[in-house]
Amino acid sequence: MCTTVLVGKKASRTGSTMIARNCDTEAPIQPVKFVQVEENAVTSGTFHSVITHFSEAYPEQALGYQMIPFVEQETLGIFGEAGINSLNVAMSSTESIFGNPFVLAADPFTEEGLGEDALLTMVLPYITSAREGVEYVGKLIEKHGSHEGNGIIFSDKDDIWYMEIPCGHHWVAQRIPDDHCAVIANQSIIETVDFEDEANFMHSANIRTFVETHALNPEDDTFNFRQIFGTSNLQDRKYNTARVWYGQKILGKENASPTADDMPFTFEPAHRLTVDDVGRVLSSHFDETIYDPFSKGDEQAAHAFRPISMNRTAESHILEIRNNVDPEFAALFWLNSGPTAFNPYVPFYANSKDTSSLYNETSLTFDSNQAYWRARLLAVLVERDYDKLAFLNFGYLTSAKELAHQLILASDQEAENYTGEERKDFLTACNEKHAKKMNQLALDHIGALVEQGLGLSALTYDITKDI
């Protein structure tokens, strides 16, 4: 159950496309690792899902890419979740969505269908553009069907495509306008589909016939995908719409009510956006509103809606494809180990040979030397006395943003001195160096939290007050 933010290249300050998502799992502890998969790592045999009946032969050639899979894959599946391939095509999968009962009765999910566990592994290494990503998934859905309702995001340096699959075999995808952004929260959100506009919309074969045959369209003169295929119920208004309302509010779109069911899919932000703006949305918990779980006063309001930042966020990513630097180091993978409210985004060059030893060797049990577990330790320390430690954490997050941007700025400039394999080696070394510097900042913050937090202990006594 995730939250997604999309930013077109003309809506960003640097001309980058950005696709981002919080990956929220079912439990607070679900270890993941951040790894690099080499070019042509698997070129024969068949992929078999361990949680569905989906299987598909591996193509004979594969691009290199990153992914953030579960550590425990034998029983849980891979769930690669997000990555950027060696052609600077990014993919994030998935935003869970739900079709309504009428749609699912007519086109149910399939046991052998393509699911979230397999999507990144079976798609990202084989596509050369964001649009091709949609087409590639569409062919797999036509062949196997879908195992569950999914929203999938693709991007390259020019385009962002968002694809919704709310039922067994039918889907629609829309290109995000260059000057628009979007916030998505576990609910079908694509609105009117223009079937004549092939540059901006794609869809499954015979989708209009399917809708007409089963009398699914409540309107006569329009094809509103959200109304036809999606849901709008009490659970949506408690769990989903408020997140869209607050995310849009941060980015400059005011909507009257957090329970409104007619908020727009895409919109122009109030100003051109940065990675930090996207991170602010994904780290938010209805800050400075009565709906903030940390607010004091109206207890009912503070727990009325599900916040964006959650204790069970396994990881959060911002995939940025830049247009203002050399394409050979234009792709940045910003990774937040979560929970996002208390931890920063760490930048990694995607055009490299590896991530970092702090991120690619996560264990199933606690190890404070690993980024995944260190981030959870930090979060527990902050939230224990949030009212008293939030300001200290705010200072850390501010310093972390500054350091991250300094590291990328300096490395971008130095990367100009290298080409080919030497440049890849340099970027790989940068990933390790950046991760360690960001980790040291986190360790310093943990030290400060321990020192200040121990002073808040109830197990204290001042004898001078009783003399």
Compute φ and ψ for 82, nearest 5 degrees: -160, 150
- Give the list of residues 6+ apart from residue 196 with CB closer than 8 angstroms, or none: none
- Does residue 181 carry a catalytic annotation? no
Listed in sequence order, the residues at least 6 apart from 211 whose beta carbon sits closer than 8 Å to its beta carbon are: 217, 223, 228
Which structure tokens are listed for 207? 């989708």
Tell me: the pLDDT tens digits for 32-82? 999 999 999 999 999 999 999 999 999 999 999 999 999 999 999 999 999
Give the pLDDT of residue 465.
61
Report the alpha-carbon distance of residue 228 to residue 208 in Å, rounded: 11
Contacts of 167 (CB under 8 A, 6+ apart): 99, 103, 104, 106, 107, 108, 109, 146, 149, 229
Burial class (CB in 10 A: 0-12, 13-18, 19+), 465: exposed
Reduced to 3 states, what is the DSSP secondary structure of residue 263? coil
End-to-end distance of the chain based on CA atoms, in angstroms? Answer: 57
User: Who contacts 302 (Cβ-Cβ below 8 Å, separation ≥6)?
Assistant: 290, 291, 292, 293, 294, 295
CA atoms within 13 A on the CB side of 227: 16
Positions of the chain with pLDDT lower than 50, given as ranges: none
Backbone phi, then psi, for 238, in 5-degree steps? -90, -35
Alpha carbon distance 441, 346 (integer Å): 11
| Predicted local distance difference test score (pLDDT) of residue 256 | 81
Measured CA angle at 116 (ends 204, 239), to 5 deg: 90
Which pLDDT does position 448 carry in this prediction?
Answer: 97
Residues 6+ apart with CB under 8 A from 4: 19, 20, 21, 92, 95, 151, 153, 182, 183, 184, 185
Q: How far apart are CA 417 and CA 410, in angstroms?
A: 12
Which amino acid is located at 355 in the chain?
Answer: T
Distance CA 342, CA 231 (A): 32
pLDDT tens-digit map of 362-404? 999 999 999 999 999 999 999 999 999 999 999 999 999 999 9
pTM of structure: 0.97
DSSP tag of 287: T
Cα 116 from Cα 255, distance rounded (Å): 32
- How far apart CA 172 and CA 150 sit, in angstroms, is 11
Q: Is residue 73 within 8 Å of 121, Cβ to Cβ?
A: no
pLDDT at 297: 83
DSSP 85: B
Residues facing residue 333 across a β-bridge: 319, 348
Q: Show the tokens assigned to 306.
A: 């599900």
Q: What share of the chain is helix, strand, coil (3-state, %, to 5)?
A: 35, 20, 45
d(CA 342, CA 69): 22
